[in-house]
Amino acid sequence: MQSQMSRAQALAHYPPLGQLIAGQFESDGGADTLDVIDPATGLTLGRAPMATAAQIERSLAAAQAAFPAWRRTPAVERGRILKRVADTLRDRSHELAGLMVLEQGKCWSEALAEVEQAAGMWEWSAEEGRRAYGRVIPGRDANTRHMALLEPVGPVAAFHAWNGPLTNPSRKLAGALAAGCTIVLKAAEEVPNCVLAVGRIAVECGLPQGVVSILVGDPATISTALIASPVTRAVTFTGSVAVGKMLAQQAISLMKRPIMELGGHAPVLVFDDADVESVARSAAASKFRNAGQICASPTRFYVQRAIYTDFIDAMNEATQQIVVGCGFDAGTTMGPLIRERRILAMEGFVADARAQGARIVTGGSRLKREGYFFEPTLLADVGLSARVSNEEPFGPIASLTPFDTYEDAIALANRLPLGLASYVHTRNVHTANRAIDDLEAGNVIVNGWRATIPETPFGGVKESGLMSEGGTEGLRAFQNVKHASIS
């Protein structure tokens, strides 16, 4: 087992920045560049040349040219390539973890776990791609047989969020490729080398030329070109609700399939029969994972009044044990926020909550050190008018509010137009089953915190998204259904 990588080792192996077009790395680009920042120090890791209009067009042309052969490549052969990608990701786990800690700031153990999660997505898609069976439908005439056939939707335009530097792009790449689609993916500008590393591995593992291209550059320029192009037939996006709505509108106006995994503001219902100490400890670990920068992060804690004070005390004690620091440092359990703008957002949420009468149990301030570090923060007695009750903080802030009845809890959980993930903690099976039925969310997790694994669909309802990625449903998102009949 390799030892944990140091910052110096990771910096020494930081790759050059550029574009991956039709399997070929290009270090050139336009005159404009974007700075890639280490969030633990605020220092520049490198400057990425921004994709030019010509590079964008070449990536689209490559996807179009490669699609006919890739869609007809037997699913078992596509699966072999994807399985090699999964194996290679695992073989290079330390190299990839080092890139994630540098570019996104997560702590080392979380980075290693993300490599395994991403590898699992490629592995699952490799296996599931060969199970696109379709079905035979009995005809109404004796000599007629009907079939529902599954086919790849076509070249895909993909956009992912920075907070899962390997899992977010892997979910899109693996699903689309397993379905027989080609794909042009715009890398999140905060973590470009993490994404380019996955693309390089895919090419190295035998992916044909043109099947995948990865672009780095201005989001508006690239998204406009990819969505408007007659080449692309589907648009997949992970990110904010506002941007997702805009991209979905653009896609639908051209009758292109929108696959949208958008923001959440996950409620947690803790009933008075729950194990207070156990749930509070695990709640703190889950809330502050990746510094709370997870779309399915538990955020709005609604705790039954009989245990409310005890739960606050227990979660506060667990929060005090969180070690904030650089992800390369041994013992760190929470890293920095991605950029200065997120620090300012956290300060705004805390100030507003205090003005609205909330109590700061712990945290609430920026840490006085280089980089973008904010204290793990618990806010108690948070009213419904506070911003943090209505807007996803996407950071290390947990708000706590008491409730009295089951009906109150469900009403609080469902009051927002968001529905990505919800969490329930109870030892009562009847309560658990009722909550699964009553909560308006794409993912309802009872007595646990893991909202997604490669085998399960992941997507939201209401304003949290359209369709699902991951699992069998994720493969279907990149496929058309064709009815055929033979007489």
Catalytic positions, written as ranges: 261, 295
21, 55 Cβ separation under 8 angstroms: yes
Tokens 């194990």 belong to residue: 275
422, 323 Cβ separation under 8 angstroms: no
Distance CA 453, CA 473 (A): 13
Tokens 């993930």 belong to residue: 421
335, 106 Cβ separation under 8 angstroms: yes
The CB-side HSE value for 338 (13 A sphere, CA atoms) comes to: 21
Sign of the four-CA dihedral 185, 191, 197, 202: negative
179, 156 Cβ separation under 8 angstroms: no
Distance CA 130, CA 217 (A): 35
Distance CA 259, CA 256 (A): 10
467, 484 Cβ separation under 8 angstroms: no
**Residue 38: other Cβ atoms inside 10 A:** 24
442, 95 Cβ separation under 8 angstroms: no
